[in-house]
């Protein structure tokens, strides 16, 4: 019985490794196709600069691309990039807000939902932060928005694109 389980686990691991290789190979082809497209370059660079780091720890790995910012225009560009180069992502998109106590949660959600074309039911729990009034005069009227795209294939593709764009841009 234990031998059968070990054989099945090995087969699953080989299947996953083959799938990962296939996704990376497809990402290589897409990179060659889009490497001179300004939106493609902007999206990869935005994630490379501002996105969450993809954990290398196999025990604690999250397959999630997350970009957090308070600038609506920046997040709009990133959303356009995701939609164009990752395909049908709408059901895998999630958004989270970080707002201060003096900001209305519903109007802020409505703002980001309309701006980024993500339905309200795809927001996860909003984090309410203490007021920063004593620290700064700048008020983030729409809070801070974090856009999440969940999926291993997306992460593998982005890893490949970041490596390739780094090589391409450095010559």
What are the pLDDT tens digits along the chain (171 aa)?
678 777 777 878 888 888 999 999 999 999 999 999 999 999 999 999 999 876 655 555 678 999 999 999 999 999 999 999 999 899 999 999 999 888 899 999 999 999 999 999 999 999 998 876 655 566 778 999 999 999 999 999 999 999 999 999 887
How far apart are alpha carbons 47 and 78 in whole angstroms? 8
Instruction: Kindly state the tokens that stand for 113.
Output: 């939902």
Q: Three-class SS of residue 135?
A: coil
DSSP, res 91: G
Whether the Cβ atoms of residue 81 and residue 43 lie closer than 8 Å to each other? yes
**Are 125 and 96 a contacting pair, CB within 8 Å?**
yes
- Phi/psi of residue 37, nearest 5 degrees: -85, 120
Q: The tokens 């895998």 sit on which residue?
A: 92
């Amino acid at each position: 019985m234990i031998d059968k389980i070990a054989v099945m686990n090995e087969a699953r691991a080989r299947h996953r490794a083959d799938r990962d290789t296939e996704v990376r190979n497809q990402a290589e082809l897409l990179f060659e196709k889009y490497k001179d497209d300004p939106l493609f370059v902007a999206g990869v660079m935005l994630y490379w600069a501002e996105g969450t780091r993809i954990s290398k720890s196999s025990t604690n790995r999250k397959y999630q691309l997350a970009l957090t910012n308070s600038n609506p225009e920046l997040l709009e560009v990133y959303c356009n990039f995701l939609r164009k180069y990752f395909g049908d992502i709408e059901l895998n998109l999630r958004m989270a807000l970080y707002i201060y106590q003096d900001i209305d949660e519903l109007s802020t959600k409505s703002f980001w939902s309309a701006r980024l074309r993500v339905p309200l039911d795809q927001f996860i729990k909003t984090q309410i932060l203490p007021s920063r009034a004593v620290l700064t005069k700048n008020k983030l009227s729409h809070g801070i928005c974090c856009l999440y795209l969940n999926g291993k294939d997306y992460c593998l593709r982005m890893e490949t694109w970041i490596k390739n764009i780094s090589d391409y841009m450095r010559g």
